[in-house]
Amino acid sequence: MLRLENAERAVYVDFEGPGNGYPVLIGAHTFEPATQKLQTRHYVFDSALKSAAENHGNCIYVEGIDSAIRLICDYVQKFDKNILAWSMHEAKTVQQHPEITNYYKQIWNDHYIDAKKIAKKSTFGAQVRLLPRDPRAGRHRLVNYTRLMGIPMVRGYGHLQVGNRIRDIKGQLERRGTYRSITPVAKRKWIALIKHNAWDIESMREVIINSFPHNSLGSRSNTPAQSIETAIFRFLEENRFSTAREIAKNLDLPKRKINPILYRNLDHLFRKYEYKWDNIQRD
């Protein structure tokens, strides 16, 4: 069972790659004992992206996915840390990849924890169940937890655009040779891809730490009522009115014993966005 102090020290990881192939990089975010600071690194192991990796300060190019996994495994063994990822995808990718040795597959497996399972058992997990189900990714997406907790999303996150960004960048590099020669648009796509990966692992750490009742971040945690209000407000800000309405219609205030102050706050929110609570209830 993961304890708060281990969650604060853990290594949070996330692969990025095209949907129908092996990943091209892995991001790792952790509290670094040597500097006493949080650190994010992106290990790029696709040779076609070597030039792009060498032109981004937080990227490290390594020869193959096995080198990246070896670096992370050696690190977590040395400092006795857990590896957390949002689902079992990163675990399965490592176990099934032919280039990674069984020795490092075992280390990865021994230290690995599915972060989503922890979040689902928290107070916020119960609130996420009120949200509409995404047919492609389900309810328990990382982004839904960040909305509930009021964690801001990085600009240009680009949900479901990762594969296209990777293909566009690799295509440019193949045609033009070096990162310096590719178009400004392609460079922006590379920067957006790295920011996307960084946001995934950095916000995942915040979500997991906030899943504990008492945590060192303190001020970030919300009550269940505040969480629902925050989520609806985020959807309204993003002009996703139908999603906001669906959350509101799913609320059963007496049954769920949600603070009645939420009722008044929601009415204020929807009035602000030209939606009245009473009209939503009758939709």
What tens digit of pLDDT does each residue of 15-67 get?
Answer: 999 877 789 999 999 999 888 899 999 999 999 999 999 998 899 999 999 99
Give, in order, the Cα–Cα distances in Å from 232 to each of 27, 123, 153, 162, 276: 30, 17, 15, 26, 13
Taking only the tens place, the pLDDT of each residue in 199-227 is 999 999 999 998 887 554 443 444 444 56
Q: Is-contact 144 126, C-beta < 8 A?
A: no
Q: Is-contact 263 228, C-beta < 8 A?
A: no
Say what the pLDDT of residue 168 is. Answer: 95
Report how far Cα 85 is from the mean position of its chain's Cα atoms: 9
Q: Amino acid identity of 61?
A: Y
Using DSSP, state whether 115 is helix, strand or coil.
Answer: helix
Distance between CA 147 and CA 231 in Å, rounded?
5
